[in-house]
Amino acid sequence: MTLRIFASAVVLILGAAVAESPGDGSSGQAVTHVATPQGIFAVYPVNDPEKDWSPEALDALLDNPAVSGVAIRERWENLEPKEGEYHLERLEQTVAAASKRHKQVQLILVPGFFTPRWLLDRLPAAEGKDCGKATFTIPYGPNRSEKRELPLPWSRPYQEAWSRFLAEVARRWNPDPAVVSIAVGGPTSVSVEMSLPAHNPEDLQTWQRLLKATGQAGTDLNAPVLEAWKQAVGTYARLFEGKTLVLTRGSGLLDSGKGEAQVARDALVAWFSDSKTKTGSNLKATQTSGMQANREEAGGIRGVKDLSGDTSFSPRILGGAQFNSALSQHPGKVGDPHRKRKGHKTGKPEPKEAEADITPLEGLRNVLKIFFNDTPAGERFSGRAGTAPIQYLQIYREDIEYANRKEDPDFQKTLEEAAQALKSFGG
C-alpha cells in the first residue's frame, strides 16, 4: 500500500467516525460575524509565571504599531494547579490590555507534558488497558531532554479533565470579541503541534507496548492518536463560539521509520479541512509553528497557503505561521536560507552548530520572503507573487522587544510593512 493510498484510507476512516460521533461539534450553524486573527502577533510564552510574566512587558508589546495583538502561550499546570482552582489572571490581564488598545488575543493553552500534578497522580501508570500515562523524553523546547510523565492521548480521564478546563475558558471569553482564536490541543506533548515523543528507540518502543497493552495495536501506528485529535476538535467546536479554531501542523506523530507521521499529519489536516467536519459557529485555520528561512515544504508553510488559497472551501480556511524561535537572538538559525535541515528531534542535546553571520534584519527579510511567497505581497518581499492569502504571523516577544529598542530602525519598518501586507489580504 502506498503512502497516498494509506492517507486516503485514514481520511475515510476519520470521516466515517466523525459522522457517527455525537461529540464532533456539528451544529449546522452558519459562520457569521466571527472575528479572525489578522496581522502580526507577539508570542508571549509563560512557562514559569514568576520569571516570565510582566504586565509592563505585555503593554510594551501591544504598544508596538506593527503588532495586531498577543498570542499568549500558557501551560495547563499553571492555570489549574488544583482541580477546579483556576488561575487565569494572566489571561484576563492580556485580554484587558489588548481590548484597551482595540487589539486581538490568540490563546495557546498547552496540556500534554504540562498537565497538572493532581491529574497525573490519578492516571494509572501500569501498562494495561486502563493505562493513562507513561514516561517519555521531552523532545524539544525549554525542558528538552527531561524525563516526564505524559497523559496518553486516548485517556478518557485526561480528555474529560481537559474538557472541563476548556469549558471554563470558553465561559469566560466566548462573549469577548478581543479573543479571536484558540489553538486545538490535547493529544499533544510539548506544544499544540502534532507532536509526540517518539523519535528515539526507547520512546517508540514504549508507544508500541502501550498500543498493544491497550488493544489498539494495528497496521496504523497513529490510528488511536488520530481518533483522539478528532475528539479534541469536536470538543473545541462544542465549547467555543465565534472563534477561529487553529490546527497546528507538525511532523512529530508516531513514526517507525516508514513515514507514518507524515501520512497521519496529512490525513488529519485533510479531515479537519473537509466541509463535512463541522466546527459550529467557529472558523478553521491551519498553522505551522516552525517558520524559518530554510523551510518551505508542503507539510509546513506551503501547505498552509495551499489551503488558505483554495477557493473551494466556504468559508475559506485561514492560514498563519509562527517563527520557530526568537529570530533576533539567533538570526543565523532562523533567518539563514542555506542552513542545513536536521532530522527528527530525538530529545537528546544537539551539538552546537555554527550560525551564519547575518544580522537580525537580514534574517527577518529572509524569513518574510518565504512566508509571503505565492501571496499577493510576494514580490514586495523579494519573493514570488501569487494569489494565496495568509492571515497572521506570530513573532516571539524578544523580536518585538528588539524592534522596540530601535537598535536597527529598519527592523521595525520591515515589521510594519509585513503587518500592512497581512491586513491588505482580508480575513
Question: Between the ranges 26-35, 93-102, 200-209, where is the mean pLDDT highest?
Answer: 93-102
Instruction: Tell me the residue range of the domain where 67 lies.
Output: 33-338+356-425
**Is there a domain that residue 351 lies in?**
no
Q: Which three cell numbers stand for residue 213?
A: 497493552
Q: Residue 284 pLDDT more than 80?
A: yes
Q: How high does pLDDT run on average in the chain?
A: 90
| pLDDT computed for residue 301 by the predictor | 97
- Indicate if the pLDDT at residue 4 is higher than 80: no
Greater confidence (2 vs 35) lies with 35
Instruction: Say if residue 396's pLDDT is above 70.
Output: yes
* pLDDT greater than 90 at residue 184: yes
Is the pLDDT at 404 greater than 50? The verdict is yes
* Statement: residue 37 has pLDDT above 90: yes
Question: How many whole angstroms separate alpha carbon 34 and alpha carbon 295?
Answer: 31
Residue 349: pLDDT band (50, 70, 90) is low
Indicate whether 155 belongs to any domain.
Answer: yes
Q: Is residue 262 in some structural domain?
A: yes
Kindly state the average pLDDT of the residues 160-188.
97
Q: Per-residue confidence at 342, pLDDT binned at 50, 70, 90?
A: low
Report residue 33's pLDDT band, with 50, 70 and 90 as the boundaries: low
CATH of the domain at 181: 3.20.20.80
Please indicate, yes or no, if residue 215 is contained in any of the structural domains.
yes
CB atoms within 10 A of CB 317: 22
Q: What is the pLDDT of residue 355?
A: 77
Q: Is residue 18 part of a domain?
A: no
| Burial class for 422, CB neighbours closer than 10 Å (0-12, 13-18, 19+) | buried
What pLDDT does residue 129 have?
81
Domain total in the chain: 1
Is 234 within the bounds of a domain? yes
Residue 2 has pLDDT above 50, yes or no: no
CA dihedral 371, 325, 412, 403 (to 10 degrees): 180
Tell me which of 1-10, 68-77, 333-342, 398-407 is least confident: 1-10
339, 366 in Cβ contact below 8 A? Answer: no
Residue 2 resides in a domain: no
pLDDT confidence of residue 217: 74
Interhelix angle 3-20/223-239, rounded to 10 degrees, is 40
Confidence bin at 427 (pLDDT 50/70/90) = low
Local confidence band at 340 (pLDDT 50, 70, 90 cut-offs): confident
In the prediction, which pLDDT does 375 show? 97
In a domain? residue 301: yes
User: How many residues in total does the chain contain?
Assistant: 427
Residue whose C-alpha cell is 508516531: 254
Q: What is the mean pLDDT of residues 32-56?
A: 93
What is the pLDDT, as a whole number, of residue 250?
A: 87
| pLDDT computed for residue 414 by the predictor | 98
